A = this chain, B = another copy of it.
């Protein structure tokens, strides 16, 4: 037999797959819970969101407010890293119901002595748990309500705000109903707000043709820091396979001196827990991590689960690879394409537990060396449940560790990886170029369920993707792509110095870099400064100074009647920081338009005097109409206006 509960709780949000996966937040962020809460009949109900950190014993309570049409809402702040649980509770509030009824009857001039006696029952119960002052008041009411001679006084108190407040404060929750429990995982702020720079350590030498080292990298840290980056991501730093090593420009034959792909991990010198000797020693690496940290930079490591044919795993754990009937080992392929320098892991291996453990141990090893951020290579070619397990195992011990999924693939695959636990995800931003595409994609990321579990990281380029629109592009285009990333998404990254130095020659017809560092050493002028480095530095500073740019979901696009101009409003949670951003998508011509201010979001009306200050140029304007004129030149194709009401 079912229970007697009368309240029904339905359609709780946010939640992912009915609680199969956790939603994501960072420390001090708000979780706003919506739910349908209803009961039979006309009784007054109340509802709360109950929540607690995994280490807390007691549930805390946020009372829900009725919004409309049986929809209720409440918010709470997640103050600590780790898991929070939350659930919705609803109950018929018989005491409030009594007060509501007696009030209506008194208004209707009905005689309510019997109702006053009923009220005493509620008062007596609440008196048991209320404060001394309240108890005293309730005792008075108890006497008053049963004294017919003081009827006129009694009916005033029966309807009082004071009594209403006490009833609300001490709900009896008789026959309360409670939903299932949902979870939110709370990360440190960097999970949501991070500014990445990527370079190849082996290209860090100042001397052309000389293999860079971690010591060389140390010298570049101040530049990275001064430009405002907080995360420095290195492609793999492990020994590079010698068997079937790739030549320059991804050719299948390597010649003497060819350094191979850094993703061809493992050789006679070691595997995933070792350092490529030309970069230096493990101690050099640890020292680099410390130096970086002192400058506010975290080193992000590449985590690429695959092996060169001469990786030690192949001999030590042959069952982790697939062996063919002819006795050869299976190399990577996507028929008819072959990748002979790489062996994929055989995830169907019977020995998978040892394999998974070694993968986890590898992460622990580098975490112990000081690494707290991993950029995971092609996670979509490894099982989803493996990621769920390994990320969870790491987070249990090391909640600071963050995982960025480098999956450039189909939408549902990328979403699934995010659901299974990835902290951040690479995105399609790299290819979203015009106004319609950008708004459509941002809407998908920030206005659908994805906002709860998928944290985008916007990269204008990567070593794997030299997008057609950047190949041979002018400076204005590069500025546009950086400012779009930096203002649309709170996590961003560039692959440098090719980005800021606009080195963009591609392999013919491909979105690949010519003479890619993936297969050879490159030599850069690491001291070069240009307009891009100046603007990147300024933009990164603006991101650090404006909370509105430190989360991605709080965005609203503004109407601007020009297909080459995109405008959006950004704000922080308490709206103490509000920005209006306008970016031209035309890198050749001046563009004009009038932008519509989101007046109701700003809480102002037409005619209100608004000061808008451009954070790059320092120019301020006074706007007092809803529609305002904008003019942007390719030389500085954007405004970031701080709004001062």
Contact surface of A with B, Cβ cutoff 8 Å: 1-6, 8, 10-11, 17-18, 36, 38, 40-42, 69-70, 100-105, 107-108, 110, 113-114, 117-118, 120-121, 174-175, 324-326, 328, 333-336, 347-348, 352-353, 356, 380-386, 388-389, 410-413, 416, 419
Contact = CB atoms under 8 A, between A and B. Distances in A.
A413 B8 CA distance: 9
A384 B121 contact: no
Contact of A4 (B348, B380, B411): B348
A574 to B, nearest CB: 32
14 contacts: A2-B386, A4-B347, A4-B348, A4-B385, A5-B383, A11-B17, A18-B18, A38-B416, A40-B384, A40-B413, A42-B381, A103-B335, A105-B335, A174-B348
B42 A1 contact: no
Contact of A104 (B40, B174, B336): B336
B70 A101 contact: no
A118 to B, nearest CB: 6
Contact of A412 (B70, B105, B108): B70
A388 B386 CA distance: 40
Contacts of A380: 40-41
Contacts of A335: 100-105, 108
Contact of A325 (B41, B101, B114): B114
B413 A101 contact: no
In the complex, which of the residues A36, A42, A100, A412 has the most CB atoms of chain B within 10 Å of its own CB atom?
A: A412
A171 to B, nearest CB: 16
B336 A110 contact: yes
A338 to B, nearest CB: 8
A388 B2 contact: yes
A326 B175 contact: no
Given A41-B381, A333-B101, A410-B69, A117 B326 contact: yes
Given A5-B383, A18-B18, A40-B382, 20 more contacts: A1-B353, A2-B386, A4-B385, A6-B347, A6-B384, A6-B385, A8-B384, A11-B17, A17-B18, A38-B410, A38-B412, A40-B381, A41-B380, A42-B334, A70-B410, A70-B413, A117-B325, A118-B324, A174-B348, A175-B348
Contacts of A1: 353, 356, 389
A336 B410 contact: no
In the complex, which of the residues A2, A40, A381, A410 has the most CB atoms of chain B within 10 Å of its own CB atom?
A: A40
Contacts of A336: 104-105, 107-108, 110
